[in-house]
Structure 1
Amino acid sequence: MFAGEFVNLQGKFAFCINENDMLQQVQKLITEKEWTKIYCSEDKWNAAFSNTINLAGCDASVTGCEFLVARTGTIVMSAAQQSGRTTSVYAPVHICIAYTNQLVYDIKDALQLMKEKYAGNIPSLITFASGPSRTADIEKTLVTGVHGPKEVYCFLVEA
């Protein structure tokens, strides 16, 4: 369900059978797109992907997430993550790596689990990203990438 909704929102989805499969698929994407500057502040993937310390000039950023909401195809992120507030929205391309145990059905479920996870110390920012940035403010014409990434990829790893 998540994959279908995410793709309907112009996101690009890939299922990975394990971590090695994910590493290979993300590296293949980076090579095919000829991205040379990848920003990643997540300790788990920094060595594999990050080759720049400058988020402002990167081609793509790699982050994790708190949860994936199946019903709406939404990626839930927070300020408590290592990637912080700007990594997922500042780069022209956002690559999110998630695990099947992070899938929830509805936004209500994600919020309840956030409350439990952070036990009274809710992060100062919770972001709900549903595909690439888009707006129809200009003459009611849909434009992507105006207020955030032009492309969003989600690599879902079997947990």
Structure 2
Amino acid sequence: MADSKSRTIILDKIKKSLQTTTNRPFDNITQNTQIYQPQNEDLDILFAEQFTKMQGQFNYCTSEQDAAENIAQLCNSKNWQAIFIGNPQIQNILSKIPSQHFTNNLATSNVSVTFCESLIARTGSMILSSKSSDGRTTSVYAPAHICIAYTDQLMYDIKDGIQHLQQKYSNNNIPGMITLATGPSRTADIEKTLVTGVHGPKEVYCFLIERNW
């Protein structure tokens, strides 16, 4: 009985609070305020530095063919026999890899290969979204994830990446899921011990392809 009364009091307080508007304490702050000042070094160098700091493995490629050769070499060195690709364009790029190494079953794959929406240089992150033909789970389900990106997808900060999404899809068509992936999956929930690969890929690779158009 006492619990029911307490619950009613709390709910009444919440309703009253929701009905009362509160003035903004900092009206002079705008969304255009630059919090992080861009560094002088190139975005590709900054991204590579931050990405590798977060245990990602970075590879700069001069062309799609260069990327395909490097990815094939990586797959051979890792002995990955089940490569999952959900995007037809990526399948064309990696067409020289023997077809028997590809799989349609993400659940049993060794590695997945995807594109991304953009790369965030300041944090070494990849922005992924549900609008991509790669799907929602492709980048997080397999034990390893390879992201193929292009130099014109490099952005300095997360804010720039979000603005890019707004321009690309328009505000009325923003993807239902936007993911910011920074290096391999890791958690320290259990006894404060850092463990990788619990909630996503244990290995993350980025192949950045030079493109100037």
Provide the TM-score with structure 2 as the length reference.
0.73
Measure how far apart 1:38 and its partner are. Answer: 0.2
| 2:210 matches 1:158 | yes
Gaps of 5+ in 1: none
Q: Where is the helix percentage greater, Structure 1 or Structure 2?
A: 2
1:6 counterpart SS class:
helix
One-letter amino acid of the counterpart of residue 176, structure 2: S
Measure how far apart 1:45 and its partner are. Answer: 1.5
Report the equivalent of 2:166.
115
Provide the TM-score with structure 1 as the length reference.
0.98
Quick one: percent identity of the two aligned structures? 55
Measure how far apart 1:34 and its partner are. Answer: 0.4
User: Among residues 157, 167, 176, which one is paired with 1:124 in the alignment?
Assistant: 176
| 2:137 matches 1:83 | no
| 2:50 matches 1:5 | yes
1:56-75, aligned counterparts within 5 Å? Answer: 56-75=107-126
User: Among residues 81, 86, 92, which one is paired with 1:41 in the alignment?
Assistant: 86
2:119 counterpart SS class:
strand
User: Among residues 95, 102, 110, which one is paired with 2:153 in the alignment?
Assistant: 102
Measure how far apart 1:150 and its partner are. Answer: 0.2
Distance 1:136 1:41 in 2: 31
Q: Where is the strand percentage greater, Structure 1 or Structure 2?
A: 1
Give the CA RMSD over aligned residues.
0.9
Distance 1:45 1:110 in 2: 22
Measure how far apart 1:51 and its partner are. Answer: 1.1
Measure how far apart 1:84 and its partner are. Answer: 1.1
One-letter amino acid of the counterpart of residue 56, structure 1: A
Matched residue count: 159
Gaps of 5+ in 2: 1-45
Q: Which fold has the larger relative contact order, with Cα–Cα distance below 8 Å and residues 6 or more apart in sequence?
A: 1
